[in-house]
Amino acid sequence: MPQPALSISRRLRSTPFTDRVEAAGVKAYTVYNHMLLPTVFRSVEEDYRHLKTAVQVWDVAVERQVEVRGPDAARLVQMLTPRDLRSLTIGRCFYTPMVDETGGMLNDPVTLKLAEDRYWISIADSDLLFWIKGLAYGRALEVDVTEPDVSPLAVQGPKAEELVARVFGEDIKDIRFFRFREVTFQGQTMILARSGYSRQGGFEIYCTSTALGPALWDALFEAGRDLDVHAGCPNLIERIEGGLLSYGNDMTRENTPHECGLGNFCDTVTAIGCCGRDALLRVAQEGPIRQIRSLAIGDAPVAPCSGTWPVMAGEKKVGQITSAAWSPDFGTNVALGMIRLSHWDPDTVLQVHTNDGVREATVQEKHFLADSASKPN
């Protein structure tokens, strides 16, 4: 069915790379942090295959930065998350669930510590800036909370390291996972991190100048011509296979980090000052009664899941699917869903009410792992 078009106005902010993305033939966008996020270039399946074999450049400027700067910066950032930030040293990135006073998820950003008194919070799709400004004002903290001119450009795929080394030098190969360094591009200091929203490996360049965005894009494409570099974007199939969660889709304010399977990124007992700490300590006593699971949905490819699909055990609703896509490598539909405790054990068979009928689904032990995938042709 043809999709309706999206009317673009000033409220849907463009990015430093929008001209290049359009020249590269973007076929669809979604809206994320009031900006345009590409979702398809050639087709979701062609983009998927190319991401797993070559290298892509992604305009992920929608991952806006909330900069927290000042003498109270560390205190304020710890108020936001149940992850203990005492081990977040300068040069590191932490995946940080962020919660409100009830322990409900507000966002799941990557937090970078740039200096003792300076952090970037690289946000998913919710207006976290307002919450942070409210806390800073309400507690009269000595901080500035701003959205700086910073636009991440991701380089993802098996050849990403080679491409980034060609542009920024061989030394970048020493950057470890979830660490960053300062680099210089045309005299401008930027941040280069080994991170990104795929399981294929790669880097994120935090472009610190809108004016230099197109030149940065062009430099990567010129250097990567023989690597088959192509414009890409976070890929629905690959991220579901890899169990990468999407805020607003797989989780909302209704969920705690533990329900999202993000308990590993929480140290609620020692995260003193986190505003959701008391609420989370209370729920941690019992443990969650529903949690995100990977599922395989049987038979032919399913149509896209634009809302949620009920998950049933006979007559009883035991959960919902929040993301699903056909996986060429696994030969099944891969999915993420929130499933009740009584039915979340691996190999449990359930029924999913998709838009085009009831399908059988099997709960997986973990996300879909690359080494059990059938090799691409």
Name the site residues for ligand THG (rule: CB under 6 A): 63, 95, 108-110, 122-124, 152, 178, 195-197, 204, 244-245
- Cα 48 to Cα 239: distance, rounded to the nearest angstrom: 10
**Contact of 304 with 295, CB cutoff 8 Å:** no
Closest CB to ligand THG among residues 124, 325: 124
Which of the 8 DSSP states describes residue 299?
Answer: S
Closest CB to ligand THG among residues 67, 204: 204
Q: Closest approach of Cβ 309 to ligand THG, in Å?
A: 22
Q: Closest approach of Cβ 371 to ligand THG, in Å?
A: 16
Closest CB to ligand THG among residues 152, 257: 152
Q: In terms of Cα–Cα distance, which of 39, 3, 4 is closest to 239?
A: 39
Q: Closest approach of Cβ 177 to ligand THG, in Å?
A: 7
**Contact of 245 with 109, CB cutoff 8 Å:** no
Q: Closest approach of Cβ 108 to ligand THG, in Å?
A: 5
Q: Closest approach of Cβ 231 to ligand THG, in Å?
A: 17
Whole-number Cα distances in Å, 100 to 143, 263, 272, 283: 20, 16, 15, 14
Closest CB to ligand THG among residues 122, 333: 122
Q: Closest approach of Cβ 71 to ligand THG, in Å?
A: 26
Both tokens of 217, joined, read 């894009």
Closest CB to ligand THG among residues 250, 329: 250
Is 60 strand, coil or helix?
A: coil
Closest CB to ligand THG among residues 178, 221: 178
112 sits in which H/E element: strand 110-115
Closest CB to ligand THG among residues 59, 141: 59
Please identify which residue in the block is written with the tokens 């000042």: 70
**Contact of 200 with 160, CB cutoff 8 Å:** yes
Closest CB to ligand THG among residues 164, 352: 164
239 sits in which H/E element: helix 236-241
Q: Closest approach of Cβ 60 to ligand THG, in Å?
A: 7
**Contact of 334 with 294, CB cutoff 8 Å:** yes
**Contact of 231 with 21, CB cutoff 8 Å:** yes
Residues facing residue 180 across a β-bridge: 193
Q: Closest approach of Cβ 262 to ligand THG, in Å?
A: 8
Both tokens of 345, joined, read 């054990």
Q: Which amino acid is at 232?
A: G
